[in-house]
Amino acid sequence: MQKTASPKTYRVKSFGCQMNVYDGERMAEMLAEKGITEAPEGEDADLVVLNTCHIREKAAEKVYSDIGRLTKGKTQKKAPMIAVAGCVAQAEGEEIMARAPAVSMVVGPQAYHRLPGMIDDAVAGKRSTDTDMPADAKFAALPKRRKSAPSAFLTIQEGCDKFCTYCVVPYTRGAEISRPYSALVDEAKKLVEAGAKEITLLGQNVSAWTGEDDRGRKLGMAGLIRELAKDPDLKRIRYTTSHPADMDDELIDTHGEVGKLMPYLHLPVQSGNDRVLKAMNRSHTAESYLRLLERFRAARPDLALSGDFIVGFPGETDAEFEDTLKVVDQVRYAQAYSFKYSPRPGTPAATMENQIEPQVMDERLQRLQAALRRDQQAFNEASIGKTCEVLVERRGKLDGQWLGKSPWLQSVHFTGDAEIGDLIEVKLIQAGQNSLAGEIVA
Protein backbone atom coordinates (compact mmCIF):
# COMPACT_ATOMS: atom_id res chain seq x y z
CA MET A 1 0.00 0.00 0.00
CA GLN A 2 1.12 3.54 -0.77
CA LYS A 3 1.69 6.30 1.75
CA THR A 4 -1.20 8.69 1.80
CA ALA A 5 -2.29 11.99 3.34
CA SER A 6 -3.83 11.96 6.82
CA PRO A 7 -7.62 11.89 6.56
CA LYS A 8 -9.31 15.15 7.51
CA THR A 9 -12.92 14.01 7.36
CA TYR A 10 -14.68 10.78 8.23
CA ARG A 11 -17.99 9.00 7.79
CA VAL A 12 -19.08 6.07 9.99
CA LYS A 13 -21.75 3.80 8.51
CA SER A 14 -23.25 1.50 11.12
CA PHE A 15 -25.38 -1.52 10.27
CA GLY A 16 -27.30 -3.87 12.52
CA CYS A 17 -28.05 -3.62 16.21
CA GLN A 18 -28.00 -0.74 18.70
CA MET A 19 -24.69 -1.95 20.10
CA ASN A 20 -23.21 -1.21 16.69
CA VAL A 21 -24.79 2.24 16.75
CA TYR A 22 -23.13 2.81 20.12
CA ASP A 23 -19.77 1.52 18.84
CA GLY A 24 -20.14 3.76 15.78
CA GLU A 25 -20.66 6.81 18.02
CA ARG A 26 -17.61 5.92 20.10
CA MET A 27 -15.45 5.49 16.99
CA ALA A 28 -16.66 8.87 15.74
CA GLU A 29 -15.68 10.44 19.09
CA MET A 30 -12.19 8.96 18.80
CA LEU A 31 -11.79 10.27 15.29
CA ALA A 32 -12.92 13.71 16.43
CA GLU A 33 -10.33 13.55 19.22
CA LYS A 34 -7.74 12.86 16.53
CA GLY A 35 -8.79 16.04 14.73
CA ILE A 36 -10.76 14.30 12.00
CA THR A 37 -14.21 15.86 11.51
CA GLU A 38 -17.43 14.34 10.25
CA ALA A 39 -17.88 14.81 6.50
CA PRO A 40 -20.91 16.99 5.77
CA GLU A 41 -23.89 15.16 4.28
CA GLY A 42 -23.46 14.66 0.54
CA GLU A 43 -19.72 15.42 0.55
CA ASP A 44 -16.81 13.00 0.14
CA ALA A 45 -15.16 11.66 3.30
CA ASP A 46 -11.40 10.95 3.41
CA LEU A 47 -12.01 7.98 5.71
CA VAL A 48 -15.05 5.69 5.66
CA VAL A 49 -15.66 3.24 8.49
CA LEU A 50 -18.03 0.40 7.56
CA ASN A 51 -19.31 -0.81 10.93
CA THR A 52 -20.75 -4.15 9.89
CA CYS A 53 -23.28 -6.67 11.20
CA HIS A 54 -23.02 -10.44 10.78
CA ILE A 55 -26.22 -11.64 12.41
CA ARG A 56 -28.15 -12.58 9.31
CA GLU A 57 -28.01 -13.16 5.55
CA LYS A 58 -25.42 -11.94 3.14
CA ALA A 59 -23.74 -9.51 5.51
CA ALA A 60 -20.28 -10.16 4.09
CA GLU A 61 -21.48 -9.79 0.50
CA LYS A 62 -22.95 -6.43 1.37
CA VAL A 63 -19.61 -5.29 2.75
CA TYR A 64 -17.81 -6.23 -0.47
CA SER A 65 -20.36 -4.43 -2.59
CA ASP A 66 -20.11 -1.33 -0.36
CA ILE A 67 -16.32 -1.41 -0.74
CA GLY A 68 -16.73 -1.78 -4.51
CA ARG A 69 -19.05 1.21 -4.71
CA LEU A 70 -16.69 3.33 -2.61
CA THR A 71 -13.65 2.52 -4.77
CA LYS A 72 -15.43 2.81 -8.09
CA GLY A 73 -16.68 6.30 -7.45
CA LYS A 74 -20.34 5.31 -7.05
CA THR A 75 -20.77 6.48 -3.44
CA GLN A 76 -18.40 9.43 -3.60
CA LYS A 77 -16.15 11.06 -6.21
CA LYS A 78 -12.81 10.19 -4.64
CA ALA A 79 -12.02 6.74 -3.19
CA PRO A 80 -11.58 7.09 0.59
CA MET A 81 -9.38 5.28 3.06
CA ILE A 82 -11.57 2.35 4.15
CA ALA A 83 -11.84 0.71 7.58
CA VAL A 84 -14.02 -2.35 8.11
CA ALA A 85 -15.24 -2.66 11.69
CA GLY A 86 -17.99 -4.61 13.47
CA CYS A 87 -18.89 -8.29 13.49
CA VAL A 88 -18.07 -9.12 9.85
CA ALA A 89 -14.59 -7.73 10.53
CA GLN A 90 -14.32 -10.03 13.53
CA ALA A 91 -15.58 -13.10 11.69
CA GLU A 92 -13.83 -12.62 8.36
CA GLY A 93 -10.92 -10.26 9.01
CA GLU A 94 -8.18 -12.10 7.14
CA GLU A 95 -10.47 -12.89 4.24
CA ILE A 96 -11.45 -9.24 3.84
CA MET A 97 -7.79 -8.24 3.78
CA ALA A 98 -7.07 -10.85 1.10
CA ARG A 99 -10.14 -10.13 -1.04
CA ALA A 100 -10.33 -6.36 -0.82
CA PRO A 101 -6.98 -4.59 -1.35
CA ALA A 102 -8.77 -1.23 -1.07
CA VAL A 103 -9.38 -1.86 2.64
CA SER A 104 -6.68 -0.28 4.80
CA MET A 105 -7.72 -1.70 8.13
CA VAL A 106 -9.96 -4.32 9.69
CA VAL A 107 -10.88 -3.87 13.32
CA GLY A 108 -13.11 -6.07 15.51
CA PRO A 109 -15.74 -4.86 17.99
CA GLN A 110 -13.43 -5.39 20.98
CA ALA A 111 -10.41 -3.67 19.45
CA TYR A 112 -11.72 -0.44 17.95
CA HIS A 113 -10.03 1.71 20.58
CA ARG A 114 -6.89 1.01 18.53
CA LEU A 115 -8.36 2.60 15.41
CA PRO A 116 -6.36 5.89 15.71
CA GLY A 117 -3.05 4.00 15.64
CA MET A 118 -4.25 1.90 12.71
CA ILE A 119 -5.04 5.10 10.80
CA ASP A 120 -1.46 6.28 11.37
CA ASP A 121 -0.27 2.94 9.98
CA ALA A 122 -2.47 3.35 6.92
CA VAL A 123 -1.09 6.86 6.35
CA ALA A 124 2.39 5.33 6.47
CA GLY A 125 1.33 2.80 3.85
CA LYS A 126 0.79 -0.19 6.17
CA ARG A 127 -2.44 -2.21 6.23
CA SER A 128 -3.48 -3.71 9.56
CA THR A 129 -5.91 -6.15 11.12
CA ASP A 130 -6.88 -6.20 14.79
CA THR A 131 -9.44 -8.73 15.95
CA ASP A 132 -8.09 -9.25 19.46
CA MET A 133 -10.56 -9.49 22.30
CA PRO A 134 -8.80 -7.88 25.25
CA ALA A 135 -11.28 -8.08 28.13
CA ASP A 136 -12.39 -4.63 29.17
CA ALA A 137 -9.44 -2.63 27.77
CA LYS A 138 -11.46 -0.90 25.08
CA PHE A 139 -13.76 1.28 27.15
CA ALA A 140 -11.00 2.64 29.38
CA ALA A 141 -9.14 3.78 26.26
CA LEU A 142 -12.06 5.70 24.75
CA PRO A 143 -12.46 9.47 25.14
CA LYS A 144 -15.01 10.86 27.62
CA ARG A 145 -18.54 11.50 26.37
CA ARG A 146 -19.11 15.11 25.38
CA LYS A 147 -22.11 15.00 23.07
CA SER A 148 -25.48 13.38 23.40
CA ALA A 149 -28.85 13.23 21.72
CA PRO A 150 -31.90 13.39 24.07
CA SER A 151 -32.01 9.60 23.88
CA ALA A 152 -28.58 8.01 24.40
CA PHE A 153 -27.19 4.49 24.33
CA LEU A 154 -24.88 3.15 27.00
CA THR A 155 -23.26 -0.25 26.52
CA ILE A 156 -23.03 -1.89 29.95
CA GLN A 157 -22.35 -5.47 28.95
CA GLU A 158 -20.95 -7.18 25.90
CA GLY A 159 -20.67 -10.66 24.53
CA CYS A 160 -22.68 -13.78 25.14
CA ASP A 161 -22.14 -17.14 26.84
CA LYS A 162 -25.53 -18.58 25.90
CA PHE A 163 -24.59 -20.20 22.59
CA CYS A 164 -28.00 -20.41 20.98
CA THR A 165 -27.25 -22.81 18.14
CA TYR A 166 -28.22 -20.38 15.34
CA CYS A 167 -26.29 -17.37 16.60
CA VAL A 168 -22.85 -15.94 15.70
CA VAL A 169 -22.70 -13.45 18.56
CA PRO A 170 -20.75 -15.64 21.00
CA TYR A 171 -18.09 -15.96 18.28
CA THR A 172 -18.01 -12.37 17.03
CA ARG A 173 -18.50 -10.51 20.30
CA GLY A 174 -16.83 -13.04 22.55
CA ALA A 175 -17.55 -14.05 26.14
CA GLU A 176 -19.86 -12.07 28.41
CA ILE A 177 -18.17 -9.15 30.13
CA SER A 178 -19.75 -6.52 32.36
CA ARG A 179 -18.33 -3.01 32.42
CA PRO A 180 -17.48 -1.79 35.94
CA TYR A 181 -20.19 0.00 37.90
CA SER A 182 -18.19 3.19 38.51
CA ALA A 183 -17.37 3.56 34.80
CA LEU A 184 -21.06 3.26 33.93
CA VAL A 185 -22.25 5.70 36.57
CA ASP A 186 -19.62 8.12 35.30
CA GLU A 187 -20.51 7.69 31.62
CA ALA A 188 -24.22 8.08 32.39
CA LYS A 189 -23.47 11.31 34.26
CA LYS A 190 -21.47 12.66 31.32
CA LEU A 191 -24.25 11.76 28.90
CA VAL A 192 -26.83 13.55 31.04
CA GLU A 193 -24.58 16.60 31.34
CA ALA A 194 -24.32 16.55 27.55
CA GLY A 195 -28.10 16.63 27.19
CA ALA A 196 -29.37 13.05 27.46
CA LYS A 197 -32.84 12.76 29.04
CA GLU A 198 -33.16 9.05 28.35
CA ILE A 199 -30.52 6.34 28.54
CA THR A 200 -30.94 2.90 27.04
CA LEU A 201 -28.63 0.36 28.66
CA LEU A 202 -27.28 -1.98 26.02
CA GLY A 203 -25.86 -5.46 25.96
CA GLN A 204 -26.24 -8.67 23.99
CA ASN A 205 -27.41 -10.06 27.32
CA VAL A 206 -27.91 -6.81 29.11
CA SER A 207 -29.64 -8.22 32.19
CA ALA A 208 -26.70 -10.59 32.77
CA TRP A 209 -24.76 -7.49 33.86
CA THR A 210 -23.16 -7.79 37.30
CA GLY A 211 -20.96 -5.43 39.22
CA GLU A 212 -19.98 -4.09 42.61
CA ASP A 213 -20.89 -0.71 44.01
CA ASP A 214 -18.43 1.63 45.75
CA ARG A 215 -18.82 -0.30 48.99
CA GLY A 216 -18.10 -3.65 47.37
CA ARG A 217 -21.71 -4.87 47.40
CA LYS A 218 -22.70 -7.11 44.51
CA LEU A 219 -25.26 -5.60 42.14
CA GLY A 220 -27.33 -6.78 39.21
CA MET A 221 -28.74 -4.61 36.46
CA ALA A 222 -31.72 -3.73 38.67
CA GLY A 223 -29.31 -2.18 41.20
CA LEU A 224 -27.60 -0.21 38.47
CA ILE A 225 -30.97 1.08 37.22
CA ARG A 226 -31.94 2.18 40.73
CA GLU A 227 -28.66 4.07 41.10
CA LEU A 228 -28.95 5.80 37.71
CA ALA A 229 -32.56 6.75 38.48
CA LYS A 230 -31.32 8.94 41.36
CA ASP A 231 -29.97 11.53 38.90
CA PRO A 232 -32.76 14.16 38.79
CA ASP A 233 -31.80 15.23 35.26
CA LEU A 234 -32.13 11.73 33.86
CA LYS A 235 -35.82 11.20 33.12
CA ARG A 236 -36.07 7.82 31.45
CA ILE A 237 -34.25 4.50 31.54
CA ARG A 238 -34.60 1.55 29.17
CA TYR A 239 -32.56 -1.58 28.52
CA THR A 240 -32.16 -4.07 25.72
CA THR A 241 -31.76 -7.00 24.93
CA SER A 242 -32.49 -9.58 27.59
CA HIS A 243 -32.54 -13.36 27.67
CA PRO A 244 -35.38 -14.95 29.68
CA ALA A 245 -32.79 -16.84 31.75
CA ASP A 246 -31.38 -13.66 33.32
CA MET A 247 -34.57 -12.00 34.53
CA ASP A 248 -34.64 -12.02 38.32
CA ASP A 249 -37.21 -10.95 40.92
CA GLU A 250 -35.37 -7.77 41.68
CA LEU A 251 -35.60 -6.65 38.07
CA ILE A 252 -39.29 -7.47 37.98
CA ASP A 253 -39.82 -5.47 41.18
CA THR A 254 -37.80 -2.59 39.74
CA HIS A 255 -40.29 -2.34 36.89
CA GLY A 256 -43.01 -1.82 39.47
CA GLU A 257 -41.07 0.55 41.73
CA VAL A 258 -38.88 2.80 39.58
CA GLY A 259 -41.07 5.17 37.61
CA LYS A 260 -38.19 6.24 35.35
CA LEU A 261 -37.80 2.68 34.09
CA MET A 262 -40.05 2.86 31.03
CA PRO A 263 -42.93 0.37 30.65
CA TYR A 264 -41.39 -1.53 27.77
CA LEU A 265 -39.69 -4.91 27.67
CA HIS A 266 -37.93 -6.50 24.73
CA LEU A 267 -37.70 -10.18 25.59
CA PRO A 268 -37.04 -12.51 22.65
CA VAL A 269 -38.74 -15.92 22.65
CA GLN A 270 -37.53 -17.01 19.16
CA SER A 271 -40.02 -19.90 18.90
CA GLY A 272 -43.17 -21.06 20.66
CA ASN A 273 -42.34 -24.75 20.38
CA ASP A 274 -40.41 -26.59 23.09
CA ARG A 275 -38.65 -29.04 20.79
CA VAL A 276 -37.43 -26.20 18.59
CA LEU A 277 -36.42 -24.14 21.64
CA LYS A 278 -34.37 -27.07 22.88
CA ALA A 279 -32.71 -27.52 19.48
CA MET A 280 -31.95 -23.78 19.58
CA ASN A 281 -30.35 -24.30 23.01
CA ARG A 282 -32.68 -21.74 24.54
CA SER A 283 -33.00 -22.53 28.23
CA HIS A 284 -36.72 -21.65 28.45
CA THR A 285 -39.94 -23.32 27.32
CA ALA A 286 -42.95 -21.55 25.83
CA GLU A 287 -44.72 -21.99 29.17
CA SER A 288 -41.88 -20.68 31.34
CA TYR A 289 -41.59 -17.66 29.03
CA LEU A 290 -45.31 -16.90 29.29
CA ARG A 291 -45.22 -17.25 33.08
CA LEU A 292 -42.27 -14.87 33.26
CA LEU A 293 -44.16 -12.26 31.24
CA GLU A 294 -47.13 -12.61 33.57
CA ARG A 295 -44.89 -11.71 36.50
CA PHE A 296 -43.60 -8.62 34.68
CA ARG A 297 -47.13 -7.59 33.81
CA ALA A 298 -48.23 -8.05 37.39
CA ALA A 299 -45.47 -5.65 38.47
CA ARG A 300 -46.18 -3.11 35.71
CA PRO A 301 -49.66 -3.63 34.21
CA ASP A 302 -49.17 -1.18 31.32
CA LEU A 303 -45.94 -2.90 30.16
CA ALA A 304 -45.54 -2.97 26.37
CA LEU A 305 -43.94 -6.18 25.16
CA SER A 306 -41.59 -6.77 22.29
CA GLY A 307 -39.73 -9.84 21.08
CA ASP A 308 -37.68 -11.54 18.40
CA PHE A 309 -38.74 -14.56 16.36
CA ILE A 310 -36.99 -16.92 13.99
CA VAL A 311 -39.07 -18.93 11.51
CA GLY A 312 -37.79 -21.97 9.66
CA PHE A 313 -35.18 -23.14 12.14
CA PRO A 314 -33.82 -26.50 10.81
CA GLY A 315 -36.44 -29.23 11.23
CA GLU A 316 -39.30 -26.85 12.21
CA THR A 317 -42.57 -28.52 11.17
CA ASP A 318 -45.83 -26.77 10.29
CA ALA A 319 -47.29 -27.79 13.64
CA GLU A 320 -44.24 -26.48 15.49
CA PHE A 321 -44.53 -23.16 13.67
CA GLU A 322 -48.21 -22.98 14.71
CA ASP A 323 -47.00 -23.04 18.33
CA THR A 324 -45.14 -19.79 17.65
CA LEU A 325 -48.38 -18.20 16.43
CA LYS A 326 -50.06 -19.41 19.61
CA VAL A 327 -47.51 -17.61 21.78
CA VAL A 328 -48.07 -14.44 19.72
CA ASP A 329 -51.81 -14.76 20.24
CA GLN A 330 -51.33 -15.05 23.97
CA VAL A 331 -48.77 -12.28 24.46
CA ARG A 332 -50.18 -9.66 22.06
CA TYR A 333 -46.88 -7.88 21.46
CA ALA A 334 -46.85 -4.11 21.11
CA GLN A 335 -44.13 -4.49 18.53
CA ALA A 336 -41.74 -7.28 17.48
CA TYR A 337 -38.96 -8.37 15.12
CA SER A 338 -39.17 -11.53 13.05
CA PHE A 339 -36.64 -13.18 10.79
CA LYS A 340 -36.18 -16.12 8.46
CA TYR A 341 -33.59 -18.49 9.82
CA SER A 342 -30.23 -17.84 8.18
CA PRO A 343 -27.42 -20.39 8.51
CA ARG A 344 -24.38 -18.66 10.01
CA PRO A 345 -21.01 -20.25 9.22
CA GLY A 346 -19.49 -21.90 12.27
CA THR A 347 -22.71 -22.22 14.27
CA PRO A 348 -24.12 -25.68 15.15
CA ALA A 349 -27.47 -25.10 13.43
CA ALA A 350 -25.81 -24.34 10.08
CA THR A 351 -24.92 -28.01 9.65
CA MET A 352 -28.14 -29.49 11.09
CA GLU A 353 -30.23 -31.70 8.84
CA ASN A 354 -33.63 -30.68 7.47
CA GLN A 355 -32.84 -27.11 6.53
CA ILE A 356 -36.18 -25.54 5.60
CA GLU A 357 -37.06 -24.63 2.00
CA PRO A 358 -37.04 -20.88 1.27
CA GLN A 359 -40.72 -20.84 0.12
CA VAL A 360 -41.80 -22.47 3.38
CA MET A 361 -39.86 -19.89 5.34
CA ASP A 362 -41.37 -17.06 3.29
CA GLU A 363 -44.87 -18.31 3.90
CA ARG A 364 -44.31 -18.72 7.65
CA LEU A 365 -42.75 -15.29 7.95
CA GLN A 366 -45.69 -13.69 6.17
CA ARG A 367 -48.19 -15.36 8.48
CA LEU A 368 -46.21 -14.43 11.58
CA GLN A 369 -45.74 -10.84 10.47
CA ALA A 370 -49.45 -10.48 9.68
CA ALA A 371 -50.24 -11.54 13.26
CA LEU A 372 -47.59 -9.19 14.68
CA ARG A 373 -48.86 -6.27 12.58
CA ARG A 374 -52.40 -6.94 13.76
CA ASP A 375 -51.27 -6.78 17.38
CA GLN A 376 -49.13 -3.69 16.89
CA GLN A 377 -52.04 -1.86 15.29
CA ALA A 378 -54.34 -2.98 18.10
CA PHE A 379 -51.83 -1.87 20.75
CA ASN A 380 -51.52 1.55 19.12
CA GLU A 381 -55.28 1.91 18.81
CA ALA A 382 -55.72 1.03 22.45
CA SER A 383 -53.45 3.98 23.28
CA ILE A 384 -55.85 6.51 21.74
CA GLY A 385 -57.22 8.83 24.41
CA LYS A 386 -54.25 8.27 26.74
CA THR A 387 -52.16 11.21 27.88
CA CYS A 388 -48.44 10.61 28.22
CA GLU A 389 -45.06 12.31 28.06
CA VAL A 390 -43.30 12.33 24.71
CA LEU A 391 -39.54 12.82 24.59
CA VAL A 392 -38.95 15.09 21.60
CA GLU A 393 -36.11 13.71 19.47
CA ARG A 394 -36.32 15.66 16.20
CA ARG A 395 -38.36 17.87 13.90
CA GLY A 396 -41.01 16.34 11.68
CA LYS A 397 -41.47 16.99 7.98
CA LEU A 398 -44.31 19.46 8.43
CA ASP A 399 -43.94 22.98 9.73
CA GLY A 400 -43.97 23.06 13.53
CA GLN A 401 -44.15 19.29 13.76
CA TRP A 402 -42.13 17.28 16.29
CA LEU A 403 -41.27 13.58 16.55
CA GLY A 404 -40.60 11.68 19.72
CA LYS A 405 -41.26 8.54 21.71
CA SER A 406 -44.01 7.62 24.13
CA PRO A 407 -43.12 5.69 27.32
CA TRP A 408 -44.14 2.52 25.39
CA LEU A 409 -41.56 3.33 22.68
CA GLN A 410 -44.19 4.28 20.12
CA SER A 411 -43.24 7.01 17.64
CA VAL A 412 -45.49 10.01 18.23
CA HIS A 413 -45.82 13.17 16.14
CA PHE A 414 -47.50 16.41 17.15
CA THR A 415 -47.33 20.09 16.31
CA GLY A 416 -46.89 23.03 18.66
CA ASP A 417 -44.47 24.71 20.97
CA ALA A 418 -41.57 22.37 21.78
CA GLU A 419 -37.80 21.91 21.57
CA ILE A 420 -35.65 18.87 20.95
CA GLY A 421 -35.04 17.23 24.33
CA ASP A 422 -38.32 18.42 25.88
CA LEU A 423 -40.67 16.03 27.62
CA ILE A 424 -44.08 17.19 26.48
CA GLU A 425 -47.45 16.11 27.84
CA VAL A 426 -49.35 14.83 24.82
CA LYS A 427 -52.77 13.27 24.28
CA LEU A 428 -52.71 10.45 21.73
CA ILE A 429 -55.48 10.98 19.20
CA GLN A 430 -54.80 8.83 16.14
CA ALA A 431 -53.06 5.49 15.60
CA GLY A 432 -51.30 3.98 12.61
CA GLN A 433 -49.24 0.81 12.27
CA ASN A 434 -45.91 2.45 13.12
CA SER A 435 -46.77 5.77 14.70
CA LEU A 436 -49.36 7.84 16.50
CA ALA A 437 -50.55 11.39 16.24
CA GLY A 438 -50.90 13.43 19.41
CA GLU A 439 -51.79 16.90 20.56
CA ILE A 440 -50.18 18.95 23.28
CA VAL A 441 -52.18 19.00 26.50
CA ALA A 442 -52.75 22.61 27.48
Return binding residues for [4Fe-4S] cluster.
Answer: 17, 53, 87, 160, 164, 167
Q: In the beta sheet, which residues pair with residue 220?
A: 210
Establish if 169 lies at the interface with ligand SF4 (CB under 6 A). Answer: yes
The residue type found at 221 is: M
Q: In the beta sheet, which residues pair with residue 84?
A: 50, 106
- Cα–Cα dist 353/314, whole Å: 7
- Cα–Cα dist 184/229, whole Å: 13
DSSP state of 261: B
| Number of residue whose CB is nearest ligand 5AD | 308
The candidate with the shortest Cα–Cα distance to 20, out of 49, 63, 53, is 53
Establish if 162 lies at the interface with ligand SF4 (CB under 6 A). Answer: yes
Query: Residue 163 binds what, of ligand 5AD, ligand SF4, none (CB under 5 to 8 Å, by partner type)?
Result: ligand SF4
Least distance (Å) between residue 289 CB and ligand SF4:
13
- Cα–Cα dist 398/437, whole Å: 13
Considering the complex, state which of residue 45 and residue 164 has its C-beta at the smaller distance from ligand 5AD.
Answer: 164
Considering the complex, state which of residue 270 and residue 410 has its C-beta at the smaller distance from ligand SF4.
Answer: 270
Establish if 239 lies at the interface with ligand 5AD (CB under 6 A). Answer: no
Query: Residue 55 binds what, of ligand SF4, ligand 5AD, none (CB under 5 to 8 Å, by partner type)?
Result: ligand 5AD
- The pattern of x and - marking residues 28 through 67 that bind ligand 5AD according to CB under 6 A reads ---------------------------xx-----------
- Cα–Cα dist 2/101, whole Å: 11
Establish if 343 lies at the interface with ligand SF4 (CB under 6 A). Answer: no
In 132-228, at which residue ranges do the beta strands (DSSP E only) sit? 151-155, 157-158, 177-178, 198-202, 210-212, 218-220
Instruction: Tell me the window of 42-50, 143-151, 158-166, 184-192 that interacts with ligand SF4 (CB under 6 A).
Output: 158-166
Query: Residue 339 binds what, of ligand 5AD, ligand SF4, none (CB under 5 to 8 Å, by partner type)?
Result: ligand 5AD
The residue type found at 341 is: Y
Q: Which of residues 239-298 bind ligand SF4 (CB under 6 A)?
A: 243
Establish if 172 lies at the interface with ligand 5AD (CB under 6 A). Answer: no
State the binding site. Answer: 17, 53, 87, 160, 164, 167
Size of the site for ligand SF4 (CB under 6 A): 10
Q: Which of residues 312-351 bind ligand 5AD (CB under 6 A)?
A: 339, 341-342, 344
The candidate with the shortest Cα–Cα distance to 237, out of 218, 219, 223, is 223
- Cα–Cα dist 63/433, whole Å: 32
Considering the complex, state which of residue 10 and residue 339 has its C-beta at the smaller distance from ligand 5AD.
Answer: 339
Which of 10, 112, 153, 166 touches ligand 5AD (CB under 6 A)? 166
Considering the complex, state which of residue 81 and residue 167 has its C-beta at the smaller distance from ligand 5AD.
Answer: 167
The residue type found at 226 is: R
The string of DSSP letters for 274-336 reads: HHHHHHTT-S--HHHHHHHHHHHHHHSTT-EEEEEEEE--TT--HHHHHHHHHHHHHH--SEE
Considering the complex, state which of residue 175 and residue 298 has its C-beta at the smaller distance from ligand SF4.
Answer: 175
- Cα–Cα dist 216/204, whole Å: 25
Establish if 164 lies at the interface with ligand SF4 (CB under 6 A). Answer: yes
Q: Contact residues for ligand 5AD (CB under 6 A)?
A: 55-56, 166-167, 268, 270, 308, 310, 339, 341-342, 344
